[in-house]
Amino acid sequence: MEHGTAALAQELIAAWSLIAVAFLALGILVYIAIRSRTRRVDLEKAVEAFRSLDVEAFRNLVDSAEEAFLRNNLSPKKFREIKRRRAWAALIYAWEAGRAAKALAKVGQAAQRSSDPKVAASGVQLSENAFRLRLQTVGACLHLLTEILLPDLRSRSLPPLVDQYERAAETLFRLGRFSSSRLLKN
């Protein structure tokens, strides 16, 4: 009898969970459908995203020497607190880099549809690289999230990651500066 009741309760929970999941999926679909109506490539927004990246600040946040100094001079509790804050700030930078890459991908795809074959070819390459960059930022964000959750953990793969993101931030910053000067001229 009890076993039957438990089985029934289990089925009911599963059923209601599925209903919730299904309606959540439906809500997301409707949201995406509504948002897809406004498909515009905003170049200025992309430039703004690039310009928002402060390379020096990002470099400082992910600097391993800086982290070692903090580890040696702060109490473990204080270090964890500071490390979390730094990782959180770096995460925001990485996220912004990802958004910039997304904007760049859109510009690249718009260029792909150009009637000029040269522009179209450049657009293909531009969007390809932007997609790569976007996916790389995901990896970085996950890494930084791990640091936030486990501040004492010393990640071996962090140095190449830091290098990569320093380069990414620098490039994006240069791109933004270049683009904004072009826009001002125009």
The reply on whether position 174 binds another protein by CB under 8 A is yes
What token pair was written down for 90? 């770096």
Q: Does 29 contact another protein by CB under 8 A?
A: yes
Nearer to another protein, 89 or 124 (CB): 124
Q: Which span (67-75, 77-85, 87-95, 173-181) binds another protein, by CB under 8 A?
A: 173-181
- 152 touches another protein (CB under 8 A): no
Q: Which 98-137 residues touch another protein, going by CB under 8 A?
A: 101-114, 116, 118-119, 122-135
- Residues 170, 47: contact at Cβ < 8 Å? no
- Whether 47 and 183 have beta carbons less than 8 Å apart is answered as yes
- Reference 89, options 66, 55, 61, 120; nearest CA is 61
- Determine the residue type at 84: R
Q: How many CB atoms lie within 10 A of CB 87?
A: 22
For the chain, how many residues are written? 186
Does residue 146 touch another protein according to CB under 8 A? no
CB count in 10 Å sphere of residue 108: 20
Which CB, 35 or 77, lies closer to another protein? 35
Residues of this chain that bind another protein (CB under 8 A): 10-12, 14-19, 21-23, 25-26, 28-29, 32-33, 35-36, 39-41, 43, 101-114, 116, 118-119, 122-135, 167-168, 171, 174-175, 178-179, 182, 186
